[in-house]
Each structure stands twice: as C-alpha cells, then as structure tokens.
Amino acid sequence: MSKSYEEINSKIERGDAVVLTADEFKAVVQENGAESAAREVDVVTTGTFGAMCSSGAFINFGHAEPPIKMTKVWLNDVPAYTGLAAVDAYIGATELREGDGLDYSGAHVIEDLVAGKAVRLRATAYGTDCYPRKDVDTHISLRTVNQAFLFNPRNMYQNYAVATNSSDRTLYTYMGKLLPRHGNATYCSAGQLSPLLNDPHLRTIGLGTRIFLGGGIGYVSWEGTQFKTNVPERNGVPAAAARALAVIGDLKQMTPEHIRALYFTKYGCSLGVGIGVPIPILDEEVARAAGVTDDQIFAPLLDYAVQSRNRKPMMEVSYAQLRSGIIDIDGREVRTSGLSSYKKALAISRELKEWILQRKFYLSRPVDTFPGERAQRPLDVRPATEA
C-alpha cells in the first residue's frame, strides 16, 4: 500500500484527508500498528520551538535620495553584514549590539521587526559617482522595507546532546546554566514531536519541502550546516546530533509568538524559532518511523566541564527519562530541564494540522533529496600545504 503526494493533496482539496498531530498518530500506531495507521492516516504534523542560533534575515531597505552604497549598517546598533548589493544586508541572530553587553542582539532586532516595531537604521559609505551619499540615519519597519526574509542555515537539529557539569563551578553555556557537580542536566529537543525524528532518514523531507516557519509558510532551502549521518542509531533514530536543514521564509508573514529573541546568561543570544513540518504517510515504512515515541529516542549525556570537541558521552538517556524531570547519574537523581518548549511544539503541530484541514496548506514534493551519507569535518590547525 502506498500513496502519492498528488493523491494526498487531492484528499486535502476535497476535505477528505485524515490529518493527525505527531502525538495523536503515535497513539494510533500503538493501538492498531503501522500498517493500519498507514492506510488510515494521510498526514502527520510535527513541531518544534527552541533556540536556533544559526538564524538571520536578509533585508532590502530601498534606495535613499540621493542614493547610498551601504558599506556599514547598524540596526538598533547591532552590526549587519553588507557585503551584498547597495541596500541589502543580512542581520545575524547572535550578533551583539555594540558596546552594550550580551543581552541585545540581531535576534532582538528580528523579534522587534516581527512585532511591528520601528528599528533604527544607520549606514555609512565611501561615496561613488552613482551612489554619492555617505551616511543615513532613519527608521524602518517591515511595512517600509521591500523584501525581508528569514534565512536560517541550520535549524531543526535532528537530536542533540544532554548537558551536565562535573566541575566545582557553575558553567554558563548555550545549553543554559549548568550547576556544579552534576547539579542539573539540560536538553534541547521536542523529542517525539520533533520534525526530523519523525522522518529520521528524510524520506519525505527534501529541497523545496513546504513548512510552517515562524507562524508563516516557509521552505526547506538546502541541507543545514553540520548536516551529518555518521552517528549511532537506536530504534532506527539517530542517538546524537545528526541532520539539520536550512530554511527560508517571508519575515512579513511571521508572528511574535513564533519568533522570539532568547538570552542565555553570561553566554549570549539566540533566536527561538517555531517550525512545523508535515509528514505525508506515503507507506508503512514512513508510518513506522513516525510512530517513534520518547522512550525509543535516546540522546548522549555530555560533560560540558570537558572543554573539547572530542568529549565522550557519559551514557545515553531517553527522552521519556528527560521529560520525567529526573535522570540518574552515577546513582544520583539529577533534575532535568528542556530548552525546547514541548508545549509550543505541540501547539505548532496543532496549528499546522488546522491549516491543512482548512485547505490553507498543501504538501510539496521535494525537488531533490539530501545526502544519505555525510560526515562532519573538524577544523584543525594546519599549514597551507595540508589544507
């Protein structure tokens, strides 16, 4: 038994499609089995909301009078990259405001824009015959700019590490505040709701896949940076950080509840991004993969006191254990906390489900697939002759 994208989209158009959120679908698989679930269900909606540091936005400001070729740009005093055309810039989520500590960044600029706020634009230039102006100081909003689109080179990481700290001092990391002597453990995944854990080998997700992005419609634009497949699997699911996707979408469609600036104490900033991906249930194999539950998904526990890219996992823990709030480390009960919001991930999967049922969202067949095998290369210090 198999279905095509066209068949499923026709059912959506007729109002006949059976669409379930990931948590609803898993209950069906557990009760009736993957074969029956594949016959009964057409689409499973997934969701995630968490820190996605590799995020940012391209903005075209329009031309001033007289025109300017912007060589340096600041948005609310956050530097933006201008090595593009005259009035284009890219603002990165983790870029910090100049001279103002760690708690305001490009993520806050993006959040302010999505919230409809005015943002101060300053730009300088060296002046040319066709672009004579040398500076501008004004305000912009999403209403006044031309294009503004989110472009995130690495989102939706497929699984991630669990962080703890064996040292005698508190550590401040991108995994949050880690208390001394294994005082806590943090993790960052929606587990059984997470998009790439429901399609672990990307059978239905590829270049051009239409997704829910930040409250609007977006697309998968490429494999994500640090995309890799050479990690151990448990129950057919990667048991460490593996695949990731680059995504793109219109910032003007997005909503404040799905695009939020985040500040990690004594570390820096990130952008909280809400993403939902529909999984078309093409056959029993896809159904079986999407039936995975938190007790079947494992992540490595890493000691962040070991300051090395080669730190070895202390053990593996399941997301069922993590979500229980307690894991055992060397016979000691350690509290866990999630940096990814399960509540918001569930809300996103439900919202995407409603979009499909209301015929506001259709599935897109990928125009190409992503690598079945990919290893991640480290950065080593080497002479030019070895590069």
Domain residue ranges in the chain: 5-52+152-357, 62-145
pTM: 0.97
Judged by DSSP in three states, 282 sits in coil
For residue 369, the model assigns a pLDDT of: 97
For residue 100, the model assigns a pLDDT of: 82
DSSP codes of every residue in 307-360: -STTPPPSEEEEHHHHHHTEEEETTEEEEEEESS-HHHHHHHHHHHHHHHHTTS
Residues 6+ apart with CB under 8 A from 14: none
For residue 1, the model assigns a pLDDT of: 75
Q: Do the beta carbons of residue 290 and residue 22 sit within 8 Å?
A: yes
Confirm whether 130 is a catalytic residue. yes
DSSP codes of every residue in 121-168: EEEE----SSS-B-EEEEEE-TTTSS-EEEEEEEES-SS--EEE--SS
Query: Could you give the CA distance from residue 97 to residue 101 in angstroms, rounded to a whole number?
Result: 7
Q: Give the pair of three-digit tokens for residue 311.
A: 């730190």
3 state SS for 66-103 = CCECCCEEEECCEEEECCCCCCEEEEECCCECCCCCCC
Extract long-range pairs of 16-19: CB within 8 Å, 24+ residues apart.
Answer: 17/42, 17/43, 17/356, 17/357, 18/42, 18/43, 19/43, 19/44, 19/45, 19/353, 19/356, 19/357
Q: Give the pair of three-digit tokens for residue 40.
A: 């009964």
Mean pLDDT, consecutive 10-residue segments, the chain of 387 residues?
Answer: 95 98 98 98 98 98 98 98 98 95 96 98 98 98 98 98 98 98 98 98 98 98 98 98 98 98 97 98 98 98 97 98 98 97 98 98 98 95 94
What amino acid occupies position 69? K
Instruction: Provide the strand spans (E) within 214-340.
Output: 216-223, 233-234, 237-238, 245-250, 259-264, 268-276, 278-280, 298-303, 315-318, 326-329, 332-338
Q: Residues 53, 130, 188, 269: which is the catalytic one? A: 130
For residue 385, the model assigns a pLDDT of: 95
